[in-house]
Amino acid sequence: MTEGIQGHPADPGPDGGTGAGTSADLVADLEHELRDTRQASTAALLTGTALIRVAAAGATVAVQFYLADLAHGHPHGTTIGLVGTAQAISEMVFAPFLARFADRLGRKLFVVGGPVVGALGLLLVAASLHSQQIFAARVLEGVAAAAFVPTALGAIAAATSLSVRARARASGAFEAATMAGYAGGFVLGPFAYHYLGRGAFVVLAAVYLLAGLICLRFVAHVPPLPITRLSTLLRDVAGPGPIRSFLPAWVGTFALIGAYGSNLASLLHHSPVRGQRLVHHFDTRLVSLVLVSAILVLVIGIVLWTPWINRLGPARQMRRAIPGAWLFSAALLAANSLPHVALYILLPVAGLGILWLAGFGPAAVAYLANSSETHTADRSALMSIYTVTLAAGGAIGAALGGVAISLASFDGLVVFGFLLSMGTFVLLGPVLRWERRGRMTHPAG
């Protein structure tokens, strides 16, 4: 049963119940303006996605510098860790609730209001003088991302509901915009803080506001939708089906990303460890160059893989992309045990592995968007699974990756990442079988 436009039960069908077909037709009619302005709305949502990731990533780096300054160069590791996770944890916790309200109250309110809240959070960071205040401000910033990201994904899924090709392109573009935003933030945050100090947070707040203004001007309005009762929605998501079969594999992939993303920079900058060639106290600028280069290679890979989503199918493409992680792991293991001159050969091989693995992300977004066709009025709520798995997988990867590093330094991280990729490959088996049975709902053409 679905809820009506203002949250009340929808009108019953001729049989006394609310027909799924009637509800889907109503949703399609309410979303017509979004489909009619597909190119402009999608471009605005992708631009907004990139900008809020620039602001969030830039703030994450700048906050670490600010905490170090507040502690006179000797910040407590626990403080850095807690403040660093505040934004991600609040995004994970609030995303399902805010996404459901976005479907119920109107999506445009959230893709515009989210960045405004993010800007407020960073202005509060700029005014903060204690780590506790910064923690609270970053929680507010996480709420902003929770309001924007799943709602933007839901709107993109709705805008591309009539074209499988447009959906594939939009899925790839969303992942590319996210990665490009992270890369931009890793550059803007440190430079802005170096030259402006706390003023950097005002600059990053302006980036948030720019994202909101773009969505306000170009994203089409969608009225409140007749959302599904929460008990029904949870039963459908948690029951046998494409979403439940996919979640373990997606958590595994985000755990792989979290393991490297949370530990690689500090490991490369760590004091030299005997027998670990890549643990060599590399200069922070070189470490930053390595991270940004990896993201750029990932973006190129996303662009190259996106046209193949419709030819292979999302599930098959995800599984074919996973061996890229094996190549990446093998290259790093070899590089960590051979003289540094071997890096000239092995780093390009590792880059090829990233290029290969890049096909997973856009295929996963397309898979989740296709799954949302079973509950068109609840697209944002279903797409919040992206945010939840991203944060949960990242936290798992960061924590267990740290344990692996404590056991075997860089080799431990690489072996842990390899085991995660093997597990993900196996977990994609049920997903592939589900897609082969033809039970997924896809856009027309």
The CATH number of the domain where 356 resides is what?
1.20.1250.20
Residues 211 and 252 in one domain: no
Backbone phi, psi, residue 17, to 5°: -115, 175
Residues 259 and 405 in one domain: yes
Q: Is residue 4 domain-resident?
A: no
Q: Which residues of the chain have pLDDT under 70?
A: 1-23, 73-81, 84, 262, 266, 269-270, 284, 438-445
The dihedral region occupied by 212, where left means phi > 0, alpha psi between -120 and 50, and beta the remainder, is alpha
Q: Is residue 15 domain-resident?
A: no
Residues 130 and 47 in one domain: yes
Q: Is 104 exposed, middle or buried (0-12, 13-18, 19+ CB in 10 A)?
A: buried
Q: Is residue 442 domain-resident?
A: no
Helix intervals (H) in 128-241: 131-159, 164-196, 199-218, 230-238
Give the CA angle between residues 180, 137, 106 to the nearest 5°.
65
Number of domains in the chain: 2
Q: Is residue 143 domain-resident?
A: yes
User: In this predicted structure, what is the pLDDT of residue 444?
Assistant: 52
Give the domain extent around 114.
Answer: 31-225
Give the number of C-alpha atoms closer than 13 A to the C-alpha of residue 54, restricted to the C-beta side.
Answer: 25
- Quickly count: other Cβ atoms within 10 Å of residue 175's Cβ: 27
Q: Is residue 193 domain-resident?
A: yes
Q: Is residue 423 domain-resident?
A: yes
- Determine contact, residues 205/122, Cβ cutoff 8 Å: yes
Residues 247 and 140 in one domain: no
Residues 396 and 276 in one domain: yes
- Quickly count: other Cβ atoms within 10 Å of residue 293's Cβ: 14
In the listed set 192, 225, 258, which residue is the last one of a domain according to the structure?
225
Say whether 221 sits in a helix, a strand or coil. coil
Residue 324 to residue 320: CA distance in whole angstroms? 8
User: In this predicted structure, what is the pLDDT of residue 195?
Assistant: 87
User: In this predicted structure, what is the pLDDT of residue 388?
Assistant: 86
For residue 324, give the amino acid letter: G
For residue 214, give the amino acid letter: I
Give the CA angle between residues 46, 47, 49 to the nearest 5°.
65
- Determine contact, residues 209/18, Cβ cutoff 8 Å: no
In the listed set 176, 206, 225, which residue is the last one of a domain according to the structure?
225
The dihedral region occupied by 281, where left means phi > 0, alpha psi between -120 and 50, and beta the remainder, is left
Residues 325 and 419 in one domain: yes
Residues 143 and 270 in one domain: no
- Determine contact, residues 309/363, Cβ cutoff 8 Å: yes
Q: Is residue 18 domain-resident?
A: no
Closest listed residue to residue 329, CA positions, set 312, 348, 350: 350
User: In this predicted structure, what is the pLDDT of residue 79?
Assistant: 67
- Determine contact, residues 343/301, Cβ cutoff 8 Å: no
For residue 150, give the amino acid letter: P
Closest listed residue to residue 433, CA positions, set 343, 353, 316: 316
In the listed set 225, 256, 288, which residue is the last one of a domain according to the structure?
225
Angstrom CA distances, 158 to 7, 23, 213, 276, stand at 20, 15, 21, 49
Residues 217 and 250 in one domain: no
- Which structure tokens are listed for 305? 């893989």
Residues 163 and 248 in one domain: no
pTM for the structure as a whole:
0.79
Q: Is 243 exposed, middle or buried (0-12, 13-18, 19+ CB in 10 A)?
A: buried
Residues 205 and 245 in one domain: no
- Determine contact, residues 241/385, Cβ cutoff 8 Å: no
Q: Is residue 284 domain-resident?
A: yes
- Determine contact, residues 86/139, Cβ cutoff 8 Å: yes
Residue 218 to residue 68: CA distance in whole angstroms? 40
- Which structure tokens are listed for 263? 């530990």
User: In this predicted structure, what is the pLDDT of residue 10?
Assistant: 40
Residues 409 and 288 in one domain: yes
Residues 172 and 92 in one domain: yes
